[in-house]
Chain A
Amino acid sequence: MIPYLSLITFIPLLGAIIILFLPNDKAIKQFAIAWSIIPLVLATVAWATLSSWAPPYNFVYNACGVTIDSASAGYTFGECAPWISTLGIQYHLGADGLSMPLIWLTTLLTTLGLFYSAKVIQNRVKEFFALFLLLEVGMLGVFVSLDLFLFYVFWEIGLVPMYFLIGIWGHDTDRPQYAAIKFFMYTLAGSVFMLLGIIALYLYSSPNTFDMTLLAANQANMPFSKDVLISSLAFLGFFLAFSIKMPLFPFHTWLPDAHTAAPTAGSVILAGILLKLGGYGFFRILLPIFPQVSQQWAFWIGVLAVISIVYGALVAMAQTDFKRLVAYSSVNHMGFVILGFAAAAALTAEQMQNPHYINNGASAINGAVLAMFSHGVITGGLFFLVGMLYERTHTRELALFGGFGSQIPVYGALLLLTSFASLGLPGLAGFVGEFMVMNGAYSTLTLLAFIAVWGIVFTAAYFLWKIIQKILLGNVSEQWAKLPDLKGYEILTLAPLAVLMFAIGLFPNWILDTINTASIAILEYMKRM
């Protein structure tokens, strides 16, 4: 049995270390790209193996002394080793339909980010590539951990490289240091409360454990589930960490600064993966482990989600900086993910008995996870496009652009594609997730869903009005007369993302099939409340 997850997670770390000993920039770049393909291949193989389980997924998961079978399973590739044995902390890895797509996306975006950066980053190359691979370790670690302690460790590991990526390679005009420390402190402020939540979870569970699978599976015999105050506080700790990471209104203000300041590949990873850590936490931890509290707060979380959607879209519309606008669009889109969470969480115990509601709950979860995945693809692409335009024009001021649709048609076509994918055009990646989330939301949070759905109009408005119209339409000014179109390596960077946008939009089944297994498992856990 190949320890896929350990390999995927730690091969980049090895790469980062090797990079420190490589002699010149060229070798570093080539090595980093080649090396990053290894986890990508492994993740692809792992996913392929994963999706070959046939329904009804009745196999036995057995790792770390945890044995789960039949429908409520979902995990595979379990790996286990004792770590801090007195506290029952284990090195417990595992993947399921929830984490597998995100793991794969992480490896993909890292490879693309490295590939693009190899052409763009010219100063302090060694540091950049080593940090980038280190960042990948942190992100992958979060997705593969099934032990809360391990989860937390990886969660924080990702912060440091990102801090440096923003601070060192940020554009001088964007106050990179301010943005970097803001990002770091803001995220840390959230996650330390999660640490307290994790400890409380450990102390109030019986038997005391940090194991996510056990915590989720043992809902019924947890004294914790009866202690409303403590469990609410612990929930709040997790919630704060995740919603800052997501980011959810009103915890989002670190995001525009960080995104704007970060170098292109950094923004891609930040938007593509780092935000997903929060969303992943919502579904991996809050929903299965805190079903009661989630249910109590679902409406208000839904309200915040709806505010994020509408407010994020409106604020995005008011931006004049291309990158900042795309950054705010993340607030807008992540709102749907949280709305999906709220919709699934809002299922009452009574509704849990009705397969119809269960299906819609699964729709909400599927949709939210798929929305995360496709947001990673789309916004990753958008940030690449922002970066490519910036490399050419050295400005991001939307008012200075115009007419690029005819000047640089390939760029224009890709921007058009990505924008429409982002605003949720059916047939492209963004729509499916949004639709499924709305489906779930309408079944439990009808009113909120009806407000949220108008966010889609605003989303369309700012993409059309602010991005496509200001950049692609109109006349080309003389200033840009010599603007070159995309080069081969740039198209190559974007091509996989474009293919994914179509692949998800036209046939989401291949990915939803995987996610659905996890959604069913999560709902099984929730049923025990």
Chain B
Amino acid sequence: MVQNFTLFIPLLPFLAFAIIVLLTRNNNRLSALVAILSIVAALMLSYGVFLEALSEGAELAANPFYGAPIAWMPFGGMTINFGWYVDPIGAAMLFMVPTVCLMIFIYSTAYMRHNHVDEHGHPHAEDDPRYARFFAYISLFTAMMLLLVVSSNLLQFFIAWEVMGFCSYALIGFWSFRGRKEHHIDDAQVGRARGAAIKAFLTTRVGDILFMTGMILLLITLGSLDFNKMYDPAAMNNMLAGLAQPLPGVEWPVVIALLIFGGTIAKSAQFPLHIWLPDAMEGPTPVSALIHAATMVSAGIFLIIRAYPLLEFAQQTSGPAMQIVAFVGAFTALFAATIGLAQNDIKRVLAFSTISQLGYMLAALGIGAFVSGSFHLLTHAFFKALLFLGAGAVIHSIGTNDMFKMGGLIRKMPITGITFFVGAFALMGIFPLSGFWSKDEILLDAMREGFYPHAGMSQDLFLQIIYLMLAIAAFLTALYTGRQLFLTFLGKPRDQAAYDHAHESPVAMWAPLAVLATFTVFLGFWNTPFAPAFFHFVGEGGFMGLPPFEHSEFDPIALTNMLVSTGIALSGFAVAWGLYGFRPIQAGQPDPLARLGFVWKILVNKYWLDELYGYKINLDGTAQPGLLIRLVGAFMRLCAWFDRNVVDGLVNLAGWLSRILARLWGWVDTHIVDGLVNATASVTGEIAEWWRTMQTGNVQNYALMAMVGAMAIAILFLLRSFT
């Protein structure tokens, strides 16, 4: 029953956005209240849908909740309709997204109050000047994420996707402008936020363009963007028949699948378009949690989930679409983990861990581990939101992001510290937290497929490589997470002033942490290898018309894998302890890993990719465009020059020419006519005498012209009649 109200889920936060913008924008408390009430209502509704979906069980996969009543875009004899589509994974998302969002909303009510010491030395807590606007934006953001989850149509999905892009722009750049009386941010922050926002939007825009291209090509070849059609094998086969091949030997499905994957690369910050996400940490921390860990980047993964049948179809019929996804994912997982090692900003470490974890999910989806990839999406959302909010609490309390100015904070902020530990261990994949179960499942699938093939199949080198990359990444994850823990919460305080200033967060901030930590601890049991309830719900039905996923029983391989991955995580953490925990870092001491030398320099500079094609944003708020952007800039100036001087120049040239022509006539009058007169006079032998008499303004010149003209016409006639 509740399913028919699915579209109200995104509508409620959207209404909150509208109400805040139009009505309550001048009242901070009321705005926050409106936002939270709306998300609570949306949460209840989506839990309703989720529960209804759970009651359907695996049956839901074949008969998802679906309705497309809104005629949106008619063209010719066709109409694209919008509506809702809730299949098992969608239902699971409907459980995750509002939950996490609600926690973030509550957290934000406190986070967006800034402590500020006035000129008399009295501390004040005052709301951010744009407090209401913040809630408007995050409401819109949540609305769009929910819309994306319930979309029945790829175009609808795309719209939500793009509006989220806007929200991320607005929220990353939330502090990118400053009134004259706003003290909570400084000029450097304004500069960094400005650069980061534009970088995020444009980088993701590149992916969006690819996504849109893929989507349009899908619309053209498939004839529809409705998920119903996309999951219909008969309709998919049409794709091979329609348009001519894009390139010789390449079929459309793989092109389309990879173009759509382009959207994910940008949105989920995969290599090489990951560059925006670390800088996006300039937004307020709840935003980082909301956009860059729990939901928005998850949208990229969710896109791949939605397009999974397409990818598989492409892989089967026309090219290695899945393998490319898997490889990009695994590579990013490893690549981002290496950079994460060398970051000092508490949020940036988390940012790179996000990139890395998203890579995990993609690798999982790419190797066909659909269920484990999806499950990791859910668990990751919880523990990453937890980590970000925890980091935010730290920043809010001591006023810096730099981990080398922290240390020992667990004594000052026990609740934050403990919950942060829970999240960090989940990220590392420590038993029995949720991260362990989901990550382990991915590694298991890679290992099983790679090293223990089905009977009659040879070992797959590709999958082995993927497995190894993921395993190394898991090790590195444990290493940098451990490093973060030791630098932040353990050890000795390195900045005494900041340490003294530190305090436990208000309840509005720690309560959400506690809730998220609870989920982090227990969510993993939804899908253990022994009792894969999540699999039964999500995987057993497969997609509508497509064959279901297979699940192996718990066997020695699984056990082996559990042990191996626990070992990897623990060894990573142990190394971290060796480097950072055994002998705590003192103030001013360089990072022990700096001994790596050139390698360290590469990692600190993030492989210089910003300098190559990105946009390097410095701590002081200045920025340098990368090589590629400089080239575009040069080309832009060339175009402007061309426009001013060549295109417009031609027009002006025409005007100039006509002016010249006008003068020329004058010249003809004065010179040519003279010349003719001169010639006539020479025939009569009195050149000298008449030379001076023939001047313009002289009627005789005129008459001569007339006579010559008449003779010319007459003679012309003559000549014509002779021919």
Contacts and interface: CB of A to CB of B under 8 A. Distances in A.
Complex contact flag A–B (Cβ < 8 Å): yes
Given A403-B177, A509-B71, A318 B129 contact: no
A454 B246 CA distance: 18
B75 A435 contact: no
B607 interface: no
Interface string A419-455: 0100001110001100110110011001001100110
Size class of B's contact patch?
35 or more
Contacts of A177: none
Interface stretch (B104-112, B198-206, B385-393, B438-446): B198-206
Contacts of A416: 170
Contacts of A426: 158-159, 161-163
Contacts of A186: 651
Interface string B198-225: 1001100110010011001101100100
Contact of A436 (B75, B159, B166): B75
B243 interface: yes
Contacts of A513: 74
Interface string B580-624: 000000000000000000000000000000000000000000000
A362 interface: yes
The majority secondary structure among interface residues of chain B is helix
A508 B162 contact: no
Contacts of A159: none
A361 B76 contact: yes
The majority secondary structure among interface residues of chain A is helix
Contacts of A253: 643, 647-648, 651
B75 A519 contact: yes
Contacts of B170: 416
Contacts, number: 172
A355 B75 CA distance: 11
Contacts of A449: 213, 216
B194 interface: yes
Given A318-B640, A469-B194, A473-B194, A431 B162 contact: yes
Contact of A439 (B173, B198, B216, B650): B216
Given A406-B178, A442-B216, A508 B76 contact: no
A317 B636 CA distance: 7
Contacts of A363: 75-76
B73 A465 contact: no
Contact of A508 (B73, B129, B178): B73
B177 A475 contact: yes
Contacts of A405: 176-177
Given A253-B647, A450-B213, A461-B202, A403 B179 contact: yes
B635 A314 contact: yes
A367 B155 CA distance: 15
A481 interface: yes
A475 B243 CA distance: 53
Nearest to B136: A413
Nearest to A319: B640
Nearest to B223: A356
B506 interface: no
A460 interface: yes
Interface in B121-179: 129-130, 155, 158-159, 161-163, 165-166, 169-170, 173, 176-179
B220 A442 contact: yes
Nearest to B651: A253
A111 interface: no
B194 A427 contact: no
Contacts of B202: 457, 460-461, 464
B201 A315 contact: no
Q: Which of B75, B129, B158 has most A Cβ within 10 Å?
A: B75
A432 B163 contact: no
Contacts of B234: none
Size class of A's contact patch?
35 or more
Contacts of A249: 647
Interface string A497-529: 000000000011100110010011001000000
Interface in A313-342: 314-315, 317-319
Interface string B521-555: 00000000000000000000000000000000000
B220 A443 contact: yes
A472 B76 contact: no
B453 interface: no
Contacts of A223: none
B183 interface: no
A360 interface: yes
B177 A436 contact: no
B129 A406 contact: yes
Contacts of A318: 636-637, 639-640
A407 interface: yes
B177 A406 contact: yes
Contacts of B648: 253
Given A464-B201, A513-B74, A475 B216 contact: no
B179 A476 contact: yes
Interface string A359-391: 111110011000000000000000000000000
B305 interface: no
Nearest to A56: B77
A359 B212 CA distance: 18
A472 B176 CA distance: 9
A128 B640 CA distance: 34
B501 interface: no
A472 B71 CA distance: 37
Interface in B46-77: 70-77
Contact of A516 (B76, B159, B242, B637): B76
B187 interface: yes
A406 B201 contact: no
Contacts of B165: 425
Nearest to A360: B220
Interface string A460-502: 1100110001001111100001000000000000000000000
A247 to B, nearest CB: 11
Contacts of A359: 75-78
A75 interface: no
Contacts of B647: 249-250, 252-253
17 contacts: A182-B651, A254-B651, A318-B640, A355-B76, A356-B220, A363-B76, A367-B75, A406-B129, A426-B162, A426-B163, A432-B73, A435-B155, A436-B75, A449-B216, A469-B176, A469-B198, A476-B178
Nearest 6 CB-CB pairings of A with B: A362-B76, A318-B640, A359-B76, A406-B179, A426-B159, A363-B75
Given A250-B650, A358-B76, A406-B130, 5 more contacts: A254-B651, A318-B639, A356-B223, A362-B76, A366-B75
Interface of A: 182, 186, 249-250, 252-254, 311, 314-315, 317-319, 355-356, 358-363, 366-367, 403-407, 413, 416, 420, 425-427, 431-432, 435-436, 438-439, 442-443, 446, 449-450, 453-454, 456-457, 460-461, 464-465, 469, 472-476, 481, 507-509, 512-513, 516, 519-520, 523
